[in-house]
Amino acid sequence: MRTSIATVSLSGSLTEKLTAASRAGFDGVEIFENDLLASPLTPEEIRARCADLGLSVDLYQPMRDIEAVPADEFARGLRRARHKFEVMRRLGADTVLVCSSVHPLAVDDDALAAYHLRQLADLAQEFGLRVAYEALAWGRHVSTYDHAWRIVEAADHPALGTCLDSFHILSRGSDPKGIEDIPGEKIFFLQLADAPLLAMDVLQWSRHYRCFPGQGGFDVAGLVRHVLRTGYDGPLSLEVFNDVFRQAEAGPTAVDAHRSLLVLQETVGVATPPAPVVPTGIAFAELVTPDAEPVSAVLGALGFARTARHRSKPVDLWQQGEARILVNTSGAARRDGTGLAAIGLESPDPTGAARRAEALLAPVLPRRRAPEDAPLDAVAAPDGTELFFCATQRNELPNWRADFTDVAHRAGTPGVHGIDHLALTQPWHHFDEATLFHRSVLGLHAQESVDVADPYGLMRSRAVTNADESVRIALSVGAAPTDDTVHAQHIALTTDDVVAAARRFRAAGGRLLPIPANYYDDLAARYEFPDGELETYRELGILYDRDAHGEFRHCYTVTVGRVFFELAQRDGYRGYGAQNAPVRLAAQHAGRPVR
Ligand code: MG
Ligand code: MG
Protein backbone atom coordinates (compact mmCIF):
# COMPACT_ATOMS: atom_id res chain seq x y z
CA MET A 1 0.00 0.00 0.00
CA ARG A 2 1.03 3.59 -0.45
CA THR A 3 2.61 5.17 2.61
CA SER A 4 2.44 8.76 3.71
CA ILE A 5 3.48 10.90 6.67
CA ALA A 6 2.21 14.19 8.05
CA THR A 7 4.91 16.85 8.03
CA VAL A 8 3.99 17.64 11.65
CA SER A 9 5.49 14.25 12.63
CA LEU A 10 9.02 15.35 11.76
CA SER A 11 11.32 18.10 12.99
CA GLY A 12 12.89 20.85 10.94
CA SER A 13 11.92 23.14 8.09
CA LEU A 14 9.40 21.96 5.51
CA THR A 15 12.23 21.26 3.09
CA GLU A 16 14.05 19.15 5.66
CA LYS A 17 10.87 17.24 6.44
CA LEU A 18 10.14 16.52 2.79
CA THR A 19 13.69 15.37 2.16
CA ALA A 20 13.63 13.07 5.19
CA ALA A 21 10.26 11.57 4.18
CA SER A 22 11.46 10.92 0.66
CA ARG A 23 14.77 9.37 1.72
CA ALA A 24 12.99 7.08 4.15
CA GLY A 25 10.88 5.74 1.28
CA PHE A 26 7.47 7.35 1.84
CA ASP A 27 5.25 7.76 -1.23
CA GLY A 28 3.52 10.91 -0.06
CA VAL A 29 3.01 13.51 2.65
CA GLU A 30 0.24 15.32 4.45
CA ILE A 31 1.19 18.97 4.50
CA PHE A 32 0.46 20.58 7.82
CA GLU A 33 -0.70 24.14 7.26
CA ASN A 34 1.74 25.69 9.73
CA ASP A 35 4.64 24.10 7.87
CA LEU A 36 3.44 25.76 4.68
CA LEU A 37 2.83 29.13 6.37
CA ALA A 38 6.34 29.11 7.81
CA SER A 39 8.01 28.10 4.57
CA PRO A 40 9.70 30.65 2.31
CA LEU A 41 8.72 28.49 -0.67
CA THR A 42 5.59 29.27 -2.72
CA PRO A 43 2.96 26.52 -2.97
CA GLU A 44 4.15 25.92 -6.56
CA GLU A 45 7.74 25.53 -5.37
CA ILE A 46 6.65 23.11 -2.66
CA ARG A 47 4.70 21.16 -5.25
CA ALA A 48 7.77 21.01 -7.51
CA ARG A 49 9.98 20.00 -4.59
CA CYS A 50 7.62 17.17 -3.73
CA ALA A 51 7.53 16.03 -7.34
CA ASP A 52 11.34 16.04 -7.50
CA LEU A 53 11.44 13.97 -4.34
CA GLY A 54 8.86 11.52 -5.68
CA LEU A 55 6.29 12.53 -3.07
CA SER A 56 2.61 13.11 -3.71
CA VAL A 57 0.76 15.65 -1.58
CA ASP A 58 -1.92 13.37 -0.17
CA LEU A 59 -3.60 15.73 2.26
CA TYR A 60 -3.65 19.36 3.34
CA GLN A 61 -4.55 19.88 6.97
CA PRO A 62 -6.24 20.93 9.15
CA MET A 63 -9.38 23.01 8.68
CA ARG A 64 -11.18 23.69 11.95
CA ASP A 65 -14.49 24.92 13.35
CA ILE A 66 -16.43 24.80 10.10
CA GLU A 67 -19.63 22.96 10.95
CA ALA A 68 -22.60 23.55 13.26
CA VAL A 69 -21.50 27.10 14.07
CA PRO A 70 -23.59 30.33 13.89
CA ALA A 71 -24.29 31.62 10.36
CA ASP A 72 -21.80 34.51 10.48
CA GLU A 73 -19.07 32.13 11.72
CA PHE A 74 -19.88 29.72 8.93
CA ALA A 75 -19.68 32.52 6.34
CA ARG A 76 -16.23 33.41 7.67
CA GLY A 77 -15.30 29.71 7.56
CA LEU A 78 -16.27 29.46 3.89
CA ARG A 79 -14.15 32.51 3.09
CA ARG A 80 -11.15 30.86 4.74
CA ALA A 81 -11.96 27.67 2.89
CA ARG A 82 -11.92 29.42 -0.47
CA HIS A 83 -8.43 30.73 0.26
CA LYS A 84 -7.24 27.29 1.43
CA PHE A 85 -8.66 25.65 -1.68
CA GLU A 86 -6.73 28.12 -3.86
CA VAL A 87 -3.56 27.22 -1.98
CA MET A 88 -4.32 23.51 -2.36
CA ARG A 89 -4.80 23.84 -6.09
CA ARG A 90 -1.40 25.50 -6.35
CA LEU A 91 0.06 22.86 -4.08
CA GLY A 92 -1.40 19.95 -6.02
CA ALA A 93 -3.23 18.58 -2.96
CA ASP A 94 -6.67 17.13 -3.66
CA THR A 95 -8.00 16.36 -0.16
CA VAL A 96 -8.45 18.64 2.83
CA LEU A 97 -8.88 17.44 6.40
CA VAL A 98 -11.72 19.00 8.37
CA CYS A 99 -11.67 18.32 12.11
CA SER A 100 -14.91 18.22 14.06
CA SER A 101 -15.67 21.57 15.59
CA VAL A 102 -14.41 22.66 19.00
CA HIS A 103 -15.88 26.15 18.56
CA PRO A 104 -17.48 27.42 21.80
CA LEU A 105 -20.60 28.46 19.88
CA ALA A 106 -20.95 25.18 17.96
CA VAL A 107 -24.33 23.54 18.51
CA ASP A 108 -25.27 19.92 18.90
CA ASP A 109 -27.20 19.69 15.64
CA ASP A 110 -26.25 16.95 13.17
CA ALA A 111 -28.57 18.28 10.47
CA LEU A 112 -26.90 21.70 10.62
CA ALA A 113 -23.45 20.07 10.62
CA ALA A 114 -24.40 18.03 7.55
CA TYR A 115 -25.82 21.12 5.84
CA HIS A 116 -22.61 23.09 6.46
CA LEU A 117 -20.36 20.26 5.33
CA ARG A 118 -22.45 19.83 2.17
CA GLN A 119 -21.92 23.51 1.32
CA LEU A 120 -18.20 23.18 2.00
CA ALA A 121 -18.11 20.11 -0.25
CA ASP A 122 -19.92 22.06 -2.99
CA LEU A 123 -17.20 24.68 -2.84
CA ALA A 124 -14.45 22.03 -2.77
CA GLN A 125 -15.96 20.38 -5.83
CA GLU A 126 -15.68 23.66 -7.76
CA PHE A 127 -11.95 23.41 -7.13
CA GLY A 128 -11.84 19.71 -7.98
CA LEU A 129 -11.10 18.88 -4.32
CA ARG A 130 -12.45 16.54 -1.65
CA VAL A 131 -13.23 17.10 2.02
CA ALA A 132 -12.37 14.44 4.62
CA TYR A 133 -14.25 14.98 7.89
CA GLU A 134 -12.59 13.61 11.05
CA ALA A 135 -13.98 13.30 14.58
CA LEU A 136 -11.51 14.72 17.08
CA ALA A 137 -11.61 12.69 20.28
CA TRP A 138 -12.25 16.02 22.06
CA GLY A 139 -14.66 17.47 19.46
CA ARG A 140 -17.31 19.65 21.07
CA HIS A 141 -20.29 17.62 19.87
CA VAL A 142 -18.78 15.12 17.43
CA SER A 143 -16.05 13.00 19.02
CA THR A 144 -16.52 9.51 17.63
CA TYR A 145 -15.86 8.14 14.16
CA ASP A 146 -19.34 6.65 13.81
CA HIS A 147 -20.93 10.00 14.63
CA ALA A 148 -18.75 11.75 12.03
CA TRP A 149 -19.73 9.09 9.50
CA ARG A 150 -23.47 9.54 10.23
CA ILE A 151 -23.10 13.26 9.44
CA VAL A 152 -21.14 12.55 6.24
CA GLU A 153 -23.77 10.01 5.22
CA ALA A 154 -26.56 12.51 5.88
CA ALA A 155 -24.75 15.24 3.91
CA ASP A 156 -24.57 12.79 1.01
CA HIS A 157 -22.14 14.65 -1.22
CA PRO A 158 -19.64 13.02 -3.61
CA ALA A 159 -16.86 15.41 -2.53
CA LEU A 160 -17.40 14.66 1.16
CA GLY A 161 -16.04 11.59 2.93
CA THR A 162 -14.61 10.75 6.31
CA CYS A 163 -11.07 10.60 7.66
CA LEU A 164 -10.33 7.90 10.21
CA ASP A 165 -7.59 8.55 12.75
CA SER A 166 -6.54 5.58 14.87
CA PHE A 167 -5.61 7.80 17.82
CA HIS A 168 -9.00 9.49 18.02
CA ILE A 169 -10.78 6.15 17.73
CA LEU A 170 -8.66 4.02 20.05
CA SER A 171 -7.98 6.70 22.69
CA ARG A 172 -11.73 6.87 23.34
CA GLY A 173 -11.99 3.11 23.55
CA SER A 174 -14.42 3.04 20.59
CA ASP A 175 -14.94 -0.37 19.00
CA PRO A 176 -13.27 -0.12 15.58
CA LYS A 177 -15.38 -2.99 14.22
CA GLY A 178 -18.07 -0.49 13.19
CA ILE A 179 -15.62 0.89 10.61
CA GLU A 180 -16.66 -2.03 8.42
CA ASP A 181 -20.11 -0.44 8.08
CA ILE A 182 -18.59 2.52 6.20
CA PRO A 183 -18.22 2.04 2.43
CA GLY A 184 -14.50 2.04 1.57
CA GLU A 185 -14.90 4.74 -1.09
CA LYS A 186 -16.30 7.09 1.58
CA ILE A 187 -13.19 6.71 3.72
CA PHE A 188 -11.18 9.47 2.09
CA PHE A 189 -8.16 9.15 4.36
CA LEU A 190 -6.61 7.01 7.09
CA GLN A 191 -4.27 8.49 9.68
CA LEU A 192 -2.34 6.19 11.96
CA ALA A 193 -0.74 6.78 15.31
CA ASP A 194 -0.15 4.61 18.34
CA ALA A 195 0.24 5.84 21.92
CA PRO A 196 1.32 4.48 25.27
CA LEU A 197 -1.66 3.58 27.45
CA LEU A 198 -1.87 6.57 29.77
CA ALA A 199 -4.67 7.87 31.97
CA MET A 200 -4.66 11.55 31.11
CA ASP A 201 -6.53 14.32 29.31
CA VAL A 202 -7.04 13.05 25.77
CA LEU A 203 -6.02 16.34 24.09
CA GLN A 204 -2.69 16.43 25.96
CA TRP A 205 -2.22 12.72 25.32
CA SER A 206 -2.71 13.29 21.59
CA ARG A 207 -0.55 16.39 21.31
CA HIS A 208 2.45 15.06 23.20
CA TYR A 209 2.50 11.27 23.37
CA ARG A 210 1.45 9.88 20.02
CA CYS A 211 3.98 7.45 18.61
CA PHE A 212 4.40 5.26 15.56
CA PRO A 213 2.36 2.06 15.20
CA GLY A 214 3.88 -0.77 17.19
CA GLN A 215 5.57 1.59 19.66
CA GLY A 216 2.60 2.11 21.95
CA GLY A 217 -0.22 0.11 23.45
CA PHE A 218 -3.02 0.43 20.87
CA ASP A 219 -4.07 -2.34 18.53
CA VAL A 220 -3.42 -0.25 15.43
CA ALA A 221 -3.09 -3.34 13.22
CA GLY A 222 -6.51 -4.55 14.36
CA LEU A 223 -8.03 -1.21 13.36
CA VAL A 224 -6.30 -1.29 9.98
CA ARG A 225 -7.73 -4.77 9.31
CA HIS A 226 -11.25 -3.37 9.76
CA VAL A 227 -10.43 -0.47 7.43
CA LEU A 228 -9.03 -2.80 4.75
CA ARG A 229 -12.20 -4.92 4.83
CA THR A 230 -14.15 -1.86 3.61
CA GLY A 231 -12.08 -1.82 0.41
CA TYR A 232 -10.23 1.37 1.41
CA ASP A 233 -7.36 1.83 -1.01
CA GLY A 234 -5.91 5.18 0.02
CA PRO A 235 -2.56 5.57 1.76
CA LEU A 236 -1.57 4.48 5.24
CA SER A 237 -0.53 7.81 6.68
CA LEU A 238 1.27 8.57 9.91
CA GLU A 239 0.15 11.56 11.95
CA VAL A 240 2.19 11.70 15.11
CA PHE A 241 2.49 14.59 17.54
CA ASN A 242 5.28 13.83 19.94
CA ASP A 243 7.55 16.09 21.98
CA VAL A 244 10.54 13.83 21.48
CA PHE A 245 10.20 13.45 17.71
CA ARG A 246 9.82 17.22 17.41
CA GLN A 247 13.36 17.52 18.73
CA ALA A 248 14.93 14.46 17.17
CA GLU A 249 16.66 14.57 13.81
CA ALA A 250 14.14 14.19 10.98
CA GLY A 251 16.16 11.67 8.96
CA PRO A 252 16.32 8.82 11.50
CA THR A 253 12.78 9.55 12.71
CA ALA A 254 11.45 9.21 9.17
CA VAL A 255 13.23 5.89 8.76
CA ASP A 256 11.82 4.60 12.05
CA ALA A 257 8.40 5.86 10.98
CA HIS A 258 8.55 4.07 7.66
CA ARG A 259 9.75 0.89 9.33
CA SER A 260 6.68 0.99 11.57
CA LEU A 261 4.44 1.03 8.49
CA LEU A 262 6.36 -1.82 6.85
CA VAL A 263 5.90 -3.91 9.97
CA LEU A 264 2.24 -2.92 10.20
CA GLN A 265 1.65 -4.01 6.60
CA GLU A 266 3.31 -7.33 7.37
CA THR A 267 1.12 -7.74 10.45
CA VAL A 268 -2.10 -7.14 8.53
CA GLY A 269 -0.96 -9.36 5.69
CA VAL A 270 -0.59 -6.90 2.83
CA ALA A 271 3.20 -7.14 2.62
CA THR A 272 5.59 -10.04 3.02
CA PRO A 273 9.12 -8.95 3.81
CA PRO A 274 11.61 -11.77 4.44
CA ALA A 275 10.56 -13.57 7.64
CA PRO A 276 12.41 -12.75 10.87
CA VAL A 277 15.29 -15.04 11.76
CA VAL A 278 15.33 -15.03 15.55
CA PRO A 279 18.82 -15.18 17.04
CA THR A 280 19.56 -18.27 19.09
CA GLY A 281 22.32 -16.96 21.30
CA ILE A 282 24.97 -14.34 21.87
CA ALA A 283 28.14 -15.29 20.02
CA PHE A 284 30.15 -12.38 21.38
CA ALA A 285 30.11 -8.85 22.68
CA GLU A 286 32.69 -6.48 21.22
CA LEU A 287 34.25 -3.65 23.15
CA VAL A 288 36.15 -0.93 21.40
CA THR A 289 38.74 0.94 23.37
CA PRO A 290 41.64 3.26 22.67
CA ASP A 291 43.59 1.49 25.43
CA ALA A 292 43.23 -2.26 25.95
CA GLU A 293 44.91 -2.21 29.35
CA PRO A 294 42.08 -1.20 31.75
CA VAL A 295 39.54 -3.49 30.04
CA SER A 296 41.99 -6.39 29.92
CA ALA A 297 42.69 -5.95 33.63
CA VAL A 298 38.98 -6.21 34.47
CA LEU A 299 38.44 -9.17 32.14
CA GLY A 300 41.46 -10.94 33.60
CA ALA A 301 40.23 -10.38 37.15
CA LEU A 302 36.81 -11.71 36.13
CA GLY A 303 38.54 -14.94 35.10
CA PHE A 304 38.63 -14.40 31.35
CA ALA A 305 41.64 -15.57 29.38
CA ARG A 306 42.87 -14.02 26.17
CA THR A 307 42.47 -17.09 23.97
CA ALA A 308 42.85 -15.81 20.43
CA ARG A 309 43.83 -12.86 18.30
CA HIS A 310 42.35 -11.72 15.01
CA ARG A 311 44.54 -12.63 12.05
CA SER A 312 44.64 -9.16 10.54
CA LYS A 313 43.26 -6.67 13.07
CA PRO A 314 44.12 -5.57 16.61
CA VAL A 315 41.23 -7.51 18.09
CA ASP A 316 41.62 -9.95 20.96
CA LEU A 317 39.18 -12.65 21.94
CA TRP A 318 38.72 -13.07 25.68
CA GLN A 319 36.83 -16.14 26.69
CA GLN A 320 35.46 -17.89 29.71
CA GLY A 321 32.95 -20.70 29.29
CA GLU A 322 30.51 -19.56 26.62
CA ALA A 323 31.13 -15.89 27.36
CA ARG A 324 33.18 -14.36 24.54
CA ILE A 325 34.28 -10.75 24.55
CA LEU A 326 36.23 -9.11 21.76
CA VAL A 327 38.48 -6.21 22.64
CA ASN A 328 39.08 -4.04 19.60
CA THR A 329 41.80 -1.39 19.68
CA SER A 330 41.78 -0.63 15.95
CA GLY A 331 41.45 2.88 14.54
CA ALA A 332 37.70 2.42 14.61
CA ALA A 333 37.92 2.69 18.40
CA ARG A 334 35.67 5.45 19.61
CA ARG A 335 37.01 8.82 20.46
CA ASP A 336 34.73 8.83 23.47
CA GLY A 337 36.52 5.94 25.09
CA THR A 338 35.71 2.38 25.92
CA GLY A 339 32.27 1.16 24.93
CA LEU A 340 30.21 -1.76 23.73
CA ALA A 341 30.25 -1.37 19.96
CA ALA A 342 29.00 -4.63 18.52
CA ILE A 343 27.09 -7.77 19.34
CA GLY A 344 27.54 -11.08 17.58
CA LEU A 345 24.20 -12.85 17.42
CA GLU A 346 24.10 -16.57 16.74
CA SER A 347 21.78 -17.04 13.83
CA PRO A 348 20.40 -20.13 12.12
CA ASP A 349 20.35 -18.12 8.86
CA PRO A 350 22.65 -15.08 8.87
CA THR A 351 21.88 -14.15 5.26
CA GLY A 352 18.15 -14.34 5.90
CA ALA A 353 18.55 -12.26 9.05
CA ALA A 354 20.43 -9.59 7.12
CA ARG A 355 17.84 -9.63 4.34
CA ARG A 356 15.06 -9.10 6.86
CA ALA A 357 16.99 -6.25 8.46
CA GLU A 358 17.60 -4.59 5.12
CA ALA A 359 13.93 -4.91 4.10
CA LEU A 360 13.05 -3.14 7.35
CA LEU A 361 15.45 -0.30 6.59
CA ALA A 362 18.31 -1.22 8.90
CA PRO A 363 21.57 0.07 7.45
CA VAL A 364 23.59 -2.89 6.18
CA LEU A 365 27.20 -2.38 7.17
CA PRO A 366 30.12 -2.82 4.85
CA ARG A 367 31.91 -5.97 5.84
CA ARG A 368 34.86 -5.05 8.03
CA ARG A 369 37.14 -7.73 6.81
CA ALA A 370 40.29 -8.64 5.05
CA PRO A 371 39.86 -10.64 1.82
CA GLU A 372 40.50 -13.94 3.58
CA ASP A 373 38.13 -13.26 6.48
CA ALA A 374 34.79 -14.98 6.82
CA PRO A 375 31.99 -12.91 5.30
CA LEU A 376 29.89 -11.68 8.18
CA ASP A 377 26.51 -10.05 7.71
CA ALA A 378 26.07 -7.00 9.89
CA VAL A 379 23.54 -4.21 10.31
CA ALA A 380 23.40 -1.14 12.53
CA ALA A 381 20.82 -0.82 15.30
CA PRO A 382 19.31 2.66 15.80
CA ASP A 383 21.81 3.43 18.58
CA GLY A 384 24.70 2.62 16.24
CA THR A 385 25.49 -0.75 17.82
CA GLU A 386 26.68 -3.14 15.11
CA LEU A 387 24.80 -6.41 15.02
CA PHE A 388 26.67 -9.31 13.43
CA PHE A 389 24.72 -12.37 12.36
CA CYS A 390 26.98 -15.31 13.07
CA ALA A 391 26.51 -18.83 11.76
CA THR A 392 27.21 -20.77 14.89
CA GLN A 393 26.60 -24.46 14.77
CA ARG A 394 26.90 -26.91 17.56
CA ASN A 395 30.29 -28.65 17.67
CA GLU A 396 31.58 -26.60 14.79
CA LEU A 397 33.80 -23.57 14.67
CA PRO A 398 31.54 -20.59 13.95
CA ASN A 399 32.35 -18.58 10.86
CA TRP A 400 33.70 -15.53 12.70
CA ARG A 401 35.92 -17.66 14.97
CA ALA A 402 37.93 -18.91 11.99
CA ASP A 403 39.39 -15.41 11.60
CA PHE A 404 41.09 -15.74 14.98
CA THR A 405 44.30 -17.54 15.70
CA ASP A 406 44.60 -19.25 19.07
CA VAL A 407 47.19 -17.86 21.45
CA ALA A 408 48.80 -19.72 24.33
CA HIS A 409 47.00 -19.04 27.59
CA ARG A 410 46.59 -20.46 31.03
CA ALA A 411 43.12 -21.85 31.60
CA GLY A 412 41.80 -20.64 34.94
CA THR A 413 38.92 -21.91 37.03
CA PRO A 414 35.95 -20.52 35.24
CA GLY A 415 33.56 -18.66 37.51
CA VAL A 416 31.54 -17.32 34.62
CA HIS A 417 29.93 -19.48 31.97
CA GLY A 418 28.07 -17.18 29.62
CA ILE A 419 26.58 -13.80 28.86
CA ASP A 420 23.35 -13.35 30.82
CA HIS A 421 22.33 -10.10 29.16
CA LEU A 422 23.65 -7.03 27.43
CA ALA A 423 22.40 -3.63 28.46
CA LEU A 424 22.43 -0.93 25.80
CA THR A 425 21.86 2.71 26.63
CA GLN A 426 19.83 4.37 23.91
CA PRO A 427 20.17 7.94 22.73
CA TRP A 428 17.46 9.70 24.68
CA HIS A 429 15.15 10.33 21.72
CA HIS A 430 15.38 6.83 20.26
CA PHE A 431 14.00 4.54 22.93
CA ASP A 432 10.71 3.55 21.30
CA GLU A 433 12.37 3.10 17.94
CA ALA A 434 14.95 0.83 19.52
CA THR A 435 12.27 -1.41 20.95
CA LEU A 436 10.41 -1.59 17.65
CA PHE A 437 13.68 -2.28 15.85
CA HIS A 438 14.69 -5.19 18.05
CA ARG A 439 11.19 -6.62 17.94
CA SER A 440 10.57 -6.32 14.25
CA VAL A 441 14.03 -6.73 12.74
CA LEU A 442 15.33 -9.42 15.09
CA GLY A 443 11.99 -11.01 15.97
CA LEU A 444 12.61 -10.57 19.70
CA HIS A 445 9.85 -10.28 22.26
CA ALA A 446 9.60 -7.02 24.22
CA GLN A 447 8.86 -7.20 27.92
CA GLU A 448 7.08 -4.49 29.88
CA SER A 449 8.77 -1.13 30.16
CA VAL A 450 9.87 -0.20 33.68
CA ASP A 451 10.75 3.20 35.12
CA VAL A 452 13.76 3.33 37.40
CA ALA A 453 14.52 6.26 39.67
CA ASP A 454 17.91 7.78 39.12
CA PRO A 455 19.17 10.50 41.52
CA TYR A 456 19.33 12.92 38.59
CA GLY A 457 16.39 11.83 36.47
CA LEU A 458 14.37 8.85 35.51
CA MET A 459 15.57 5.85 33.56
CA ARG A 460 13.24 3.84 31.35
CA SER A 461 14.20 0.29 30.70
CA ARG A 462 12.77 -2.47 28.56
CA ALA A 463 14.14 -5.91 27.84
CA VAL A 464 13.88 -7.74 24.53
CA THR A 465 14.46 -11.49 24.49
CA ASN A 466 14.13 -14.57 22.33
CA ALA A 467 11.79 -17.37 23.39
CA ASP A 468 14.25 -19.39 25.52
CA GLU A 469 15.90 -16.20 26.82
CA SER A 470 19.30 -17.22 25.50
CA VAL A 471 19.35 -13.70 24.03
CA ARG A 472 18.50 -10.94 26.46
CA ILE A 473 19.09 -7.30 25.62
CA ALA A 474 18.05 -4.62 28.10
CA LEU A 475 17.39 -1.27 26.40
CA SER A 476 17.39 1.78 28.61
CA VAL A 477 17.26 5.53 28.29
CA GLY A 478 17.36 8.51 30.60
CA ALA A 479 14.54 11.05 30.62
CA ALA A 480 16.86 13.65 29.13
CA PRO A 481 20.33 13.82 27.63
CA THR A 482 22.65 12.94 30.45
CA ASP A 483 26.13 11.99 31.46
CA ASP A 484 26.63 8.64 29.79
CA THR A 485 29.52 7.60 32.00
CA VAL A 486 26.76 6.87 34.50
CA HIS A 487 24.14 5.60 32.10
CA ALA A 488 26.73 3.25 30.71
CA GLN A 489 26.21 0.00 28.88
CA HIS A 490 26.87 -3.21 30.66
CA ILE A 491 27.66 -6.83 30.06
CA ALA A 492 26.07 -9.17 32.57
CA LEU A 493 27.87 -12.47 33.01
CA THR A 494 26.25 -15.68 34.17
CA THR A 495 27.66 -17.37 37.23
CA ASP A 496 26.42 -20.22 39.41
CA ASP A 497 28.03 -18.73 42.49
CA VAL A 498 28.17 -14.98 42.61
CA VAL A 499 29.84 -14.93 46.03
CA ALA A 500 32.76 -17.04 44.83
CA ALA A 501 32.98 -15.09 41.57
CA ALA A 502 32.96 -11.76 43.40
CA ARG A 503 35.60 -12.92 45.87
CA ARG A 504 37.82 -14.19 43.09
CA PHE A 505 37.42 -10.93 41.21
CA ARG A 506 38.39 -8.92 44.25
CA ALA A 507 41.31 -11.16 45.10
CA ALA A 508 42.57 -10.64 41.54
CA GLY A 509 42.58 -6.87 42.09
CA GLY A 510 39.15 -6.11 40.63
CA ARG A 511 37.01 -3.31 42.11
CA LEU A 512 33.33 -3.95 42.82
CA LEU A 513 30.77 -1.17 43.10
CA PRO A 514 30.24 -0.45 46.82
CA ILE A 515 26.61 -0.54 47.94
CA PRO A 516 25.43 1.54 50.95
CA ALA A 517 24.73 -0.11 54.32
CA ASN A 518 21.14 1.19 54.30
CA TYR A 519 20.38 -1.13 51.42
CA TYR A 520 21.39 -4.18 53.47
CA ASP A 521 19.53 -3.00 56.57
CA ASP A 522 16.40 -2.82 54.44
CA LEU A 523 17.12 -6.18 52.81
CA ALA A 524 17.37 -7.77 56.27
CA ALA A 525 13.93 -6.41 57.08
CA ARG A 526 12.42 -7.69 53.85
CA TYR A 527 13.82 -11.20 53.66
CA GLU A 528 15.26 -13.82 55.97
CA PHE A 529 18.71 -15.03 55.08
CA PRO A 530 20.76 -17.90 56.54
CA ASP A 531 23.33 -16.79 59.14
CA GLY A 532 26.20 -14.80 57.71
CA GLU A 533 24.80 -14.60 54.16
CA LEU A 534 23.72 -10.98 54.34
CA GLU A 535 27.08 -10.00 55.84
CA THR A 536 28.75 -11.58 52.84
CA TYR A 537 26.54 -9.60 50.47
CA ARG A 538 27.25 -6.45 52.43
CA GLU A 539 30.97 -7.03 52.28
CA LEU A 540 31.03 -7.68 48.54
CA GLY A 541 28.28 -5.33 47.35
CA ILE A 542 26.01 -8.12 46.20
CA LEU A 543 22.40 -7.14 45.54
CA TYR A 544 19.44 -9.42 45.98
CA ASP A 545 16.02 -9.70 44.38
CA ARG A 546 13.30 -12.26 44.18
CA ASP A 547 10.31 -12.74 41.88
CA ALA A 548 7.60 -15.36 41.40
CA HIS A 549 10.09 -17.59 39.59
CA GLY A 550 13.11 -17.49 41.83
CA GLU A 551 16.03 -15.55 43.27
CA PHE A 552 18.62 -13.19 41.83
CA ARG A 553 21.99 -12.26 43.27
CA HIS A 554 24.18 -9.81 41.41
CA CYS A 555 26.99 -7.31 41.74
CA TYR A 556 28.71 -4.76 39.55
CA THR A 557 32.25 -3.84 38.66
CA VAL A 558 33.22 -0.22 38.61
CA THR A 559 32.80 1.45 35.22
CA VAL A 560 35.58 1.47 32.64
CA GLY A 561 34.98 4.19 30.07
CA ARG A 562 31.33 3.70 29.16
CA VAL A 563 30.94 0.09 30.17
CA PHE A 564 30.77 -2.01 33.32
CA PHE A 565 30.25 -5.67 34.07
CA GLU A 566 27.65 -7.40 36.18
CA LEU A 567 28.02 -10.81 37.78
CA ALA A 568 24.60 -12.40 37.77
CA GLN A 569 23.44 -15.51 39.56
CA ARG A 570 19.96 -16.32 38.37
CA ASP A 571 18.14 -19.11 40.17
CA GLY A 572 14.92 -19.24 38.18
CA TYR A 573 14.51 -15.46 38.40
CA ARG A 574 13.19 -13.83 35.21
CA GLY A 575 13.87 -10.13 35.72
CA TYR A 576 16.89 -7.84 35.60
CA GLY A 577 17.08 -6.52 39.14
CA ALA A 578 15.06 -3.37 38.38
CA GLN A 579 14.23 -3.21 42.08
CA ASN A 580 17.92 -2.65 42.80
CA ALA A 581 18.68 -0.39 39.86
CA PRO A 582 18.08 2.92 41.73
CA VAL A 583 20.64 1.88 44.37
CA ARG A 584 23.07 0.84 41.68
CA LEU A 585 22.61 4.12 39.76
CA ALA A 586 23.09 6.18 42.92
CA ALA A 587 26.25 4.22 43.76
CA GLN A 588 27.55 4.80 40.26
CA HIS A 589 26.85 8.54 40.52
CA ALA A 590 28.60 8.60 43.91
CA GLY A 591 31.65 6.86 42.48
CA ARG A 592 32.01 9.32 39.65
CA PRO A 593 34.82 11.85 39.75
CA VAL A 594 33.57 15.16 41.18
CA ARG A 595 32.73 17.65 38.43
MG1 MG B 1 -5.85 13.29 12.64
MG1 MG C 1 21.81 -5.79 34.33
DSSP string across 387-404: EEEE---TTS--TGGGGE
Torsion on CA atoms 101, 106, 112, 114, rounded to nearest 10: 0
* Residues in the chain, pLDDT under 50: 485, 595
Question: From ligand 2's centre to the CA of 409, what distance in Å?
Answer: 29
Q: Give the other-Cβ count within 10 Å of 371's Cβ.
A: 5
Question: From ligand 1's centre to the CA of 58, what distance in Å?
Answer: 13
Q: Which chain residues have CB less than 5 Å from ligand 2, an ion? A: 492, 566
Contact criterion met (CB below 8 Å) for 190 and 227: yes
This prediction's pTM: 0.90
> Can you give the pLDDT at residue 398?
63
> Can you give the pLDDT at residue 44?
98
Q: How far is the C-alpha of 591 from the C-alpha of 486, rounded, in Å?
A: 9
Query: Per-residue pLDDT tens for 512-521?
Result: 999 999 999 9
Question: From ligand 1's centre to the CA of 165, what distance in Å?
Answer: 5
Report which residue type is found at 545: D
Going by C-alpha positions, the residue among 587, 578, 496 that lies closest to residue 541 is 587
Question: From ligand 2's centre to the CA of 348, what distance in Å?
Answer: 26
Q: How far is the C-alpha of 131 from the C-alpha of 120, rounded, in Å?
A: 8
Question: From ligand 2's centre to the CA of 423, what distance in Å?
Answer: 6
Ligand at shortest distance from the CA of 62: 1
Question: From ligand 2's centre to the CA of 298, what distance in Å?
Answer: 17
Ligand at shortest distance from the CA of 581: 2
Ligand at shortest distance from the CA of 585: 2
> Can you give the pLDDT at residue 485?
47
Question: From ligand 2's centre to the CA of 421, what distance in Å?
Answer: 7
**Taking the mean position of all CA atoms in its chain, how far away is CA 499?**
37
Question: From ligand 2's centre to the CA of 529, what distance in Å?
Answer: 23
Burial class (CB in 10 A: 0-12, 13-18, 19+), 351: middle
Contact criterion met (CB below 8 Å) for 389 and 399: no
165: part of which helix (H) or strand (E)? strand 160-165
All structural domains of the chain = 3-268 (3.20.20.150), 281-406 (3.10.180.10), 416-590 (3.10.180.10)
> Can you give the pLDDT at residue 243?
83
Q: How far is the C-alpha of 415 from the C-alpha of 327, rounded, in Å?
A: 20
Question: From ligand 2's centre to the CA of 577, what distance in Å?
Answer: 7
> Can you give the pLDDT at residue 370?
58
